[in-house]
Chain A
């Protein structure tokens, strides 16, 4: 009874979208139906609809989520996916492209109110929200959820921002499972003056705190239902869907959450009756299932494999069903500023000029699956990004060998030198990129021996282990990085700040310790700055890091995604660099 009407409404929305597109100068596109175009979901909603269906959306994953527990996960795809069954204090606005980088309240009534000293952030929580077990959502549930992120012995995978930024106490708080206070509410840095107000007390000002309020770790967890490491098998939902069944490494089934109030959560939608996530499916099979319509979404959101890429790009109809967003990652080469001869900046310049950006781009998968040739240390998705090209990466993409030889002369090695390049040898793309770098540098006489190490211990034991890197002369190292949130601090603090250098598990592999950069990172989070001022600092960091030649950026990474024609409300959300999973519906 209700369905035809709703479908008609959906069609009306689609038509109006088309009319708008036509007004915007789309030209003489056919009048009937919304025509699918390559990359359309980067800026527009594909098949917008509010129609509810009894169908099932099937996600497939070549692996499995690190955890379905919102406190125990650190993958962009999973942060995107958990919004189906959790709501966080703040969240990203559900809209296409850069619009989706904006912060909007989730459980909170508005953005955090910060005290003048920048040390206390207060959120008020919407009243009338319920968990899937029928209990009201209160500030205590959120405080308890954040406390869980301290229990690294039980839930090791999630980020550690709250431990780092919230005020510490003695003895150190070790999570609710070791918390002897009544009600396990012993974390002093979070106070709950009334059931609908929560206050975070910080050790240092952190202007990006609203981004921390978007972390899955702020999704409410009722203390009575917490089963520690086993909680991931039956997460109590605060989002549009809730757990029906969960078989680890096999299948997760979500169904409608009757206690979710659509009018109080405008950033998520409940348009289908079931969502299934199938795990451990061969990556090539995920692609073929998508193309055949057996599954509707690739959970990992990192793009199709080689065979499907050839199919999508060589068939015009399939290409029109594809999107190729910049996903926020940069693939780059770390140039170690402390290992000879790279302690001489001219030797670092020589690498910047000698690199063959086209070959590395092809190694990463070409202009569609690999990415755009990069020339900055920050991706275009970070606030404050402005393009610039210090080393002719874009203007002379195959390398500027004359400039490289000149720099080698200045560095005192006119005929080149010998160094080593570390790479992750279980990653075919990293291997190919390291090989391409080796071949490019050989053109000016630089011999870079390839040294492969396993991904799991790459940062703890090898490239990110400072004594090991120095002992083995790892002047160059392949790397890739994506921000947890799209600000200069979220992007660069770990990899560019001299104060973040660790002896092992080091992400600042270049060992860049530039006082200007360090000071900028300290300044950018101080209270009272306008967005324009913070953008200016972000740009200054980017320029300074490139001037130091501590990174040789390769590509602004892109993912070639297939957009299933069975789905409605499909678009790429800037904050995740993939389709927004929280709003999908079925045709």
Chain B
């Protein structure tokens, strides 16, 4: 239906990608843009490794909590009370506790890191969805409509970008009420805090996405297929969401994948500053914070290594995958 989609893609493929061009011409004709990108992505080993790790961690976060023990149960019998140190070598590693137990409390580290994945990934993913949602709508509208609407939105993006985000987040979470009503929905405790964290992380990240989308929309609105749609009387919403948006799928996907690790780190930072999810609910940032503030690294390095590695591996996997995805969808930016 939207002819321009195929034409530039073919141009790109034949004109710039030497390896793709070496394929037989007939085979190239029949491939969609998505399929070409997928073929390119598959050849990128780093990106594929990143992608597999991401899928694995998401699976762990989704179903892992059902397979591990209770992350809140204390095991004082596994702790030397004098030093708070897990009994046995390597932080008390055993069949029942494959990653050992947490110092002082004796809580199972595997159970905590797996449950931590659930919260860390849930918050990071939903915050990204929120940031992308707001960013795309505002960016497209601003770029396409132009005029005073563009000025207002672009300036408000500048304001958001200039905001001392961390300070604001700490202040906002500090005054969080015990319970709140969102229309008919009443949230309290953990649920309310998770909602607020998602809101803060997502809401303050939308301008990054918004700026990119606005730039793309600015150039797309001058293209012939948009003119054509306008000349046959298409309304603005139709042009925005049926003509322009499909051309933005690439950048949206790429920047979302790169935003997720940033949000994981931001959630960890908030937990580290003890304004994130409250204990005893485990999060990666909170576990890291516990290990540092209680000096557990001096008696049981595993307590710090496990959440630290979890954050490190997830962030690097998302970044590798995002980079690979960008290369696959938009080889010119290489």
Give the B-binding residues of A (Cβ under 8 A). 284, 305-307, 309-310, 313-314, 356, 358-359, 361-363, 365-368, 398, 420, 425-426, 428, 431-432, 434-436, 438-440, 442, 449-452, 471-473
B280 contacts A450, CB within 8 Å?
A: yes
B84 contacts A362, CB within 8 Å?
A: yes
New contact pairs (20) apart from A366-B82, A432-B105, CB-CB < 8 Å = A305-B295, A306-B83, A306-B295, A306-B298, A307-B299, A356-B76, A358-B81, A366-B84, A367-B81, A425-B274, A428-B293, A434-B279, A435-B280, A436-B105, A439-B280, A450-B279, A450-B280, A451-B278, A452-B274, A472-B178
User: What chain A residues lie within 8 Å of B82 (beta carbons)?
Assistant: 313, 366-368
Q: Contacting A306 at CB < 8 Å: which of B72, B189, B296?
A: B296
A310 touching B278 in the complex, CB below 8 Å, given contacts A305-B295, A363-B105, A432-B105 = no
A-B contacts, 18 of them at CB < 8 A, read A306-B84, A306-B299, A310-B83, A310-B85, A356-B74, A358-B81, A359-B74, A359-B105, A362-B79, A362-B84, A362-B105, A366-B84, A420-B178, A425-B278, A435-B280, A436-B74, A438-B280, A449-B189
User: What chain B residues lie within 8 Å of A432 (beta carbons)?
Assistant: 104-105, 294
In whole angstroms, what is the CA distance A472 to B82 when docked? 36
Interface centre among B79, B104, B274, B299, by most chain A C-beta atoms within 10 angstroms, is B104
In whole angstroms, what is the CA distance A359 to B79 when docked? 10
Closest to B174 in A: A454
Question: Is there a chain A Cβ closer than 8 Å to B161's Cβ?
Answer: no
B72 contacts A313, CB within 8 Å?
A: no
A358 contacts B76, CB within 8 Å?
A: yes
User: What chain B residues lie within 8 Å of A356 (beta carbons)?
Assistant: 74, 76
B47 to chain A, nearest CB (A): 40
Closest to B290 in A: A428
User: What chain B residues lie within 8 Å of A358 (beta carbons)?
Assistant: 76, 81
In whole angstroms, what is the CA distance A525 to B73 when docked? 47
Q: Contacting B81 at CB < 8 Å: which of A366, A431, A472?
A: A366
User: What chain B residues lie within 8 Å of A440 (beta carbons)?
Assistant: 74
In whole angstroms, what is the CA distance A220 to B84 when docked? 47
A367 to chain B, nearest CB (A): 6
Interface size counted on chain B using CB atoms at 8 A: 25
User: What chain A residues lie within 8 Å of B73 (beta carbons)?
Assistant: 439
User: What chain B residues lie within 8 Å of A310 (beta carbons)?
Assistant: 83, 85, 298-299
Per-residue A-contact encoding for B81-123, CB less than 8 Å = 1, 0 else: 1111100000000000000000011000000000000000000
Closest to B274 in A: A425
In whole angstroms, what is the CA distance A310 to B300 when docked? 11
A473 contacts B81, CB within 8 Å?
A: no
CB within 8 Å of A: which of B235-282? Answer: 274, 278-280
A461 to chain B, nearest CB (A): 11
Closest to A425 in B: B274
User: What chain B residues lie within 8 Å of A434 (beta carbons)?
Assistant: 279
Per-residue A-contact encoding for B298-322, CB less than 8 Å = 1, 0 else: 1100000000000000000000000
User: What chain A residues lie within 8 Å of B294 (beta carbons)?
Assistant: 306, 428, 432
B83 contacts A359, CB within 8 Å?
A: no
In whole angstroms, what is the CA distance A449 to B290 when docked? 19
In whole angstroms, what is the CA distance A305 to B81 when docked? 15
Closest to B107 in A: A439
Interface centre among B74, B85, B278, B280, by most chain A C-beta atoms within 10 angstroms, is B74
A430 to chain B, nearest CB (A): 11
User: What chain A residues lie within 8 Å of B85 (beta carbons)?
Assistant: 310
A439 contacts B84, CB within 8 Å?
A: no
Closest to B80 in A: A366
B84 contacts A365, CB within 8 Å?
A: yes
In whole angstroms, what is the CA distance A111 to B24 when docked? 107
User: What chain A residues lie within 8 Å of B293 (beta carbons)?
Assistant: 428
User: What chain B residues lie within 8 Å of A442 (beta carbons)?
Assistant: 72
B287 to chain A, nearest CB (A): 12
A466 to chain B, nearest CB (A): 16
